[in-house]
Amino acid sequence: MLRTALRNVLAHKARLIMTALAVLLGVAFVSGTLIFADTTANAFRNASAQSLKGVAVSVRADQATTAPDMAGGADSKPTTAVDTALARKIRHLPGVTSVRPTVHGQATLAGKDGRPVNADTNGQNLATNYQPGPDGEDSHFPLKEGRGPAAEGELALDAKTAAKAGYRIGDTVRFATDGPALTKKLVGTVSTDDPQVTAGGTLTLFDTRTAQKLFHRPGQFDEIAVAAAPGTDEYALTEQVQALLPKGGASATSGAQLAAEQSAQIAKNTGYLTKTLLVFAGVALFVGVFLIANTFTMLIAQRSREIALLRAVGASRRQVVRSVLIEAGLLGLVASVGGFALGLGIATAMRPLLNTTGATLPDGPLVITPAAPPASLAVGVVITVLAAWLPSRKAAKIAPVAALSSIDQAPPARALRVRNLLGTLLAGAGVLVMLYVSTLKGTKESNLLAAMLGGVLTLGGVIVLAPLLSRPLIALAGKVTTRFFGVSGKLAKENALRNPRRTAATASALMIGLALITGLTVGAHSAQQAMATEATQGLTADYKVNYNTARGLDPDDVGKIARVPGVAAAAPVTTAQLGTHGESAVITGTDPEAYGKVARLDFRAGSLHDIGPGRIAVSDQFAGRAGLHVGATLDAELGGGMDDSKAAKRKLTVVGIYAKTRTVDDALGTRADVLPYSMTKQFDNLLVKAEPGKAAGLERTIRAALDDSPLLKVRSQEQLVKDNNESVTTVLSMMYGLLGMAVVIAILGVVNTLAMSVFERTREIGMLRAIGLDRSGIRQMIRLESVVISVFGAVLGIGTGIFLAWAAGGLTTTSMHAYETVLPWGRLGTFLALALMIGVLAAIWPARRAARLNMLRSIQAS
């Protein structure tokens, strides 16, 4: 039987090639994910180990506090308990060989063309102090060109950032740390292995005094890295260092403990990504199961005479099953080896691909752990063998006489009835669960699990019912093909209906991919529409101005923009915490008169003009939660943030109730009532209304008024909508790419089914040629059959995806109040057109093969 299995594999190489490709792609996805996960984790560990190299103890400042500067001004820098004096004390401890005090900050550059570099991800735009050693260089940042910064007017950049921004040694670099633009001379470029920088961030280096001036106060740092002599007990040294630290101002951690914490965090972060990717790999493999099972079912039907002969000469059912499973195992093994090789390429390409979506994955060598190859091969072999198990059992049950009399028998009616009953139960249960999910609100874990269960049951039910559903839908499609293509169209319909199980299995592979893609598309499109509505709801301003950091706009900034020619109105907006009646809320402060010119609120009671000192309006939602009404007096607590003890007591009167929008939070008051209690004591943003006909060129003028800081964001309503939707669009694009693998495998399934069907119908095709159907008619018949199957799968997939998206849409309404299911008809039409294209392309090779069959030899085929 082993020789028989080997002979069958070698004898049907062409028929098995598409199945092998499906296994290959599925294994490639799995192996690529596993290798990518190991590679990413190793790169993070290497970067972490490099940053902790030689660090016995790390002293880190607790959260920096803000205090007035020496002149008593309001614009102050954070202050920390880690300073030069502490560094000296630590340096004198026994066993300490050196200390490295470091300042951490962020600096966003403007490129030489004036455009900000990485302004939207300024958290990756790192800035720190350059600390030259005895040789004049900083060992942490090896010089590539020039020298390190040594004076207030100098800086250095990492080489990649300098090249990206277009700067060369000697150029004047524009940058911003927390607001207005600054300039310094570029004196050197360095290399770095910091993962945030290698993943697309930037690195700016200043001399220590300048870095302290920019981010803290003279003599203060964020961290001190302590190096110890060989043989020093890290834990004992950590306790000695901790004893020197002020209580509540800083903490000391041993290098070993810090490495363990970072390793655990790395494992956690990469684990989430790995699980997500493996889910999509599982979808691809699941789709591949249909192709594999379909292929072996058809192969067994075509080899029924051979199986009958084996049974007649003494082969047992178990031996027949074993022969088919050995054949499947060999196919899975060969395809898995190729899949593992392809997985290496996928793993290599995945890091730069994900970094384009905003991930911060570091560079590193490809890592292949001992477990990855056997795990990948096992997945491919096991999936292939499992998919071939049912066809093998079917082969073993064929009676020799029945097998000798027919090659392609229709499935028994009883089996179809059982299948239809099971499918109805599964689909019915899935629909009921999804209808229950449609009544739920919020994305808590139990709701998500219910949605996943309902989705799996619904998809499973549709898959099982696909043979039953194929008859009416394909019959309907057949009327169209018959009407427009005559005999070829009618024959295509009859061929698709001949074996509903096979047609359903082929279409189901495509259905699964399109159902998931459609569900994601409908959900994402609906979310984008809701976010677009909420982003500009009630907003009549032409521009929203703010800084891309925690720092806000100060009154001088507001005044400068208000005086810009072409500005008709400018309303500053600030926010603070508000507590009353046991409820926590956010109150917005502004100039009511100016605000009325840049926004439109829907007041249910009172009006914007009623707001004044001590008088506020509240949203309808907040009023309902706190039991407020017009005329109510609040004993309010303003400000305080996380610490309620710091909140100020104020009496406020409710003079209006409005419909809540994203622009205005739970309450609205005057700037004088809210600004003193805001976190930054500054304005969060400024809403600008242009004079009639002046909006088009106003953005440049506004930027110029605030020195064109790289951190300044001046966004129109269209840009606000685009920014809100950008994250959804990025994730959706990545999902399309991942699910595309499943669609590719489904296409292979259509090609394989048609190609094997042509072989199976060789005599029939010869007879059709003999009675007058020419080669073009044969090609058209095969193409139409392919299109009918593809469209059937697309209709099932699109319909199922729409239902699942609608039912699960309610889970997002707590975070997006404007959410409602909106069908993207253009994209759905594209998916249907894609299915038509898939049908046409998948039929090219099978149709050509059928048309080239010799008429007489085909008639004589057995």
Taking the alpha carbons at both ends of the chain, their separation in whole angstroms is 24
Cα Rg, the chain, nearest whole Å = 34
pLDDT the model gives residue 854: 79
The DSSP secondary-structure symbol of 107 reads -
DSSP 3-state assignment of 386? helix
pLDDT band of 67, cuts 50, 70, 90: very low
748 vs 235, higher pLDDT? 235
The H or E element spanning position 669 is strand 667-670
In angstroms, rounded to a whole number, what is the distance separating the alpha carbons of residues 456 and 459? 5
For residue 688, being part of any structural domain is answered with yes
> CB within 8 A of 522, min separation 6: which ones?
801, 802, 805, 806, 821, 822, 823, 824
pLDDT band (50, 70, 90) for residue 412: low
**Phi, psi for 40 (deg, rounded to 5):** -65, -45
- Give the mean model confidence (pLDDT) for residues 591-620: 93
- C-alpha separations of 720 from 135, 221, 539, 726, 817 in Å: 50, 37, 11, 10, 18
Instruction: Report pLDDT for 1.
Output: 53
Mean pLDDT value across the chain: 84
Task: Determine, yes or no, domain membership for 592.
Answer: yes
Tokens matching residue 849? 């093969």
Whole-angstrom distance, CA of residue 40 vs CA of residue 36: 6
Residue 161: closest CA among 173, 146, 150, 177: 173
Grade residue 6 by pLDDT with cuts at 50, 70 and 90. low
DSSP 120-184: GGGGGEEEEEE---TTSS-TTS-EEEE----STTEEEEEHHHHHHHT--TTPEEEEESSSS-EEE
Give the CB-side neighbour count of residue 713, counting CA atoms within 13 A.
24
Q: What is the pLDDT of residue 262?
A: 75
Percent of the chain with pLDDT over 70: 89
Give, in order, the Cα–Cα distances in Å from 2 to each of 5, 18, 324, 330: 5, 23, 10, 10
pLDDT at 591: 94
Residue with the bigger pLDDT between 196 and 606: it is 606
Cβ-contact 26, 288 below 8 angstroms: yes
3-state secondary structure (DSSP) of residue 655 = strand
Asked if residue 434 has pLDDT above 90, the reply is: yes
Residue 96 lies in a domain: yes
Q: Under the phi-then-psi rule, with left for phi > 0, alpha for psi from -120 to 50, and beta for the rest, what region is 266?
A: alpha
Please determine, for residue 401, whether its predicted confidence score (pLDDT) is greater than 90: no
Query: Looking at residue 246, what DSSP letter applies?
Result: P
Quick check: 703 and 695 in contact, CB under 8 A?
no
Examine residue 405 and state whether it is found in any structural domain, yes or no.
no
| Residue-level pLDDT at 315 | 73
- Average pLDDT (82-108) is 92
Helix (H) or strand (E) holding 586: strand 583-590
What mean pLDDT is predicted for residues 715-723?
Answer: 85
CA distance 463 to 476: 20
- Answer with the one of 264, 290, 311 that is the final residue of a domain: 264
% residues pLDDT > 90 (the chain): 34
Give pLDDT, residue 370: 87
Q: Which residue from 117, 735, 40 is spatially nearest to 361, judged by alpha carbons?
A: 40
- Examine residue 93 and state whether it is found in any structural domain, yes or no: yes
In the structure encoding, which two tokens stand for residue 539, read together? 């907003």
DSSP assignment of 335-377? HHHHHHHHHHHHHHHHHHHHHTTT--PPP------TTHHHHHH
How far apart are alpha carbons 258 and 144 in whole angstroms? 30
Report the C-alpha gap between 575 and 685 in whole angstroms.
10
pLDDT of 702:
92
Per-residue model confidence as pLDDT tens digits over 472-512: 999 998 899 999 999 888 988 888 888 888 888 888 888 98
Distance CA 144, CA 136 (A): 14
Whole-number pLDDT of residue 313: 67
Instruction: Read off the pLDDT of each residue in 731-750 and give the average, rounded to a whole number.
Output: 77
Q: Annotate 37-76 with three-state secondary structure.
A: HHHHHHHHHHHHHHHCCCCCEEEEECCCEECCCCCCCCCC
**Where does the pLDDT of residue 75 fall: very low under 50, low under 70, confident under 90, or very high at 90 and above?**
very low
pLDDT digits (tens, 9 = 90+) for 763-816: 788 888 888 888 898 899 999 999 999 999 999 999 999 999 999 987 876 667
For the chain, how many structural domains are there in total? 2
Q: Using pLDDT thresholds of 50, 70 and 90, give the confidence band for residue 406.
A: very low
3-state secondary structure of 562: helix
pLDDT at residue 601 greater than cutoff 70:
yes
Alpha carbons 515 and 794: distance in angstroms, whole number: 8
Name beta bridge partners: 845. Answer: none
What's the CA gap between 542 and 562, in Å, rounded? 14
**Domain assignment present for 78:** yes
Which of the listed residues 264, 296, 317 is the one where a domain comes to its end?
264
Q: For 111-115, 294-298, 331-335, 451-455, which range has the lowest pLDDT when averaged over its residues?
A: 294-298
761 pLDDT band, cuts 50/70/90, is confident
> Which of 264, 281, 296 lies at the terminal end of a domain, its last residue?
264
- Which is more confidently placed, 497 or 663? 497
Question: Between 748 and 594, where is the model more confident?
Answer: 594
Q: What is the pLDDT of residues 299-316, one digit of tens each?
A: 776 666 667 666 676 777
In this prediction, residues 642-664 reach a mean pLDDT of: 80
Q: Please, are residues 251 and 242 in contact by the beta-carbon 8 Å criterion?
A: yes
Q: Is residue 358 situated within a structural domain?
A: no
Count CB neighbours of 223 within 10 A.
Answer: 18
pLDDT at residue number 89:
92
The phi, psi pair for 693, rounded to 5°, reads 80, 0
- Averaged pLDDT, 825-832: 92
DSSP assigned state of 83: E
Cα–Cα distance, 168 to 612 (Å, whole number): 55
Beta bridge partners of 615: 612, 653
CA distances, 619 to each of 323, 601, 606, 655 (Å): 73, 10, 12, 11
Residues in a beta bridge with 252: 59
Check if the beta carbon of residue 139 is closer than 8 Å to that of residue 262: no
Check if the beta carbon of residue 95 is closer than 8 Å to that of residue 237: yes
Q: What is the pLDDT of residues 517-554, one digit of tens each?
A: 999 899 888 888 888 777 777 788 999 999 887 778 88
Lookup result for tokens 């690529």: 32
Segments forming the whole domain that contains residue 258: 54-264
- CB under 8 Å to 10, separation ≥6 — which residues? none
Whole-number pLDDT of residue 74: 40
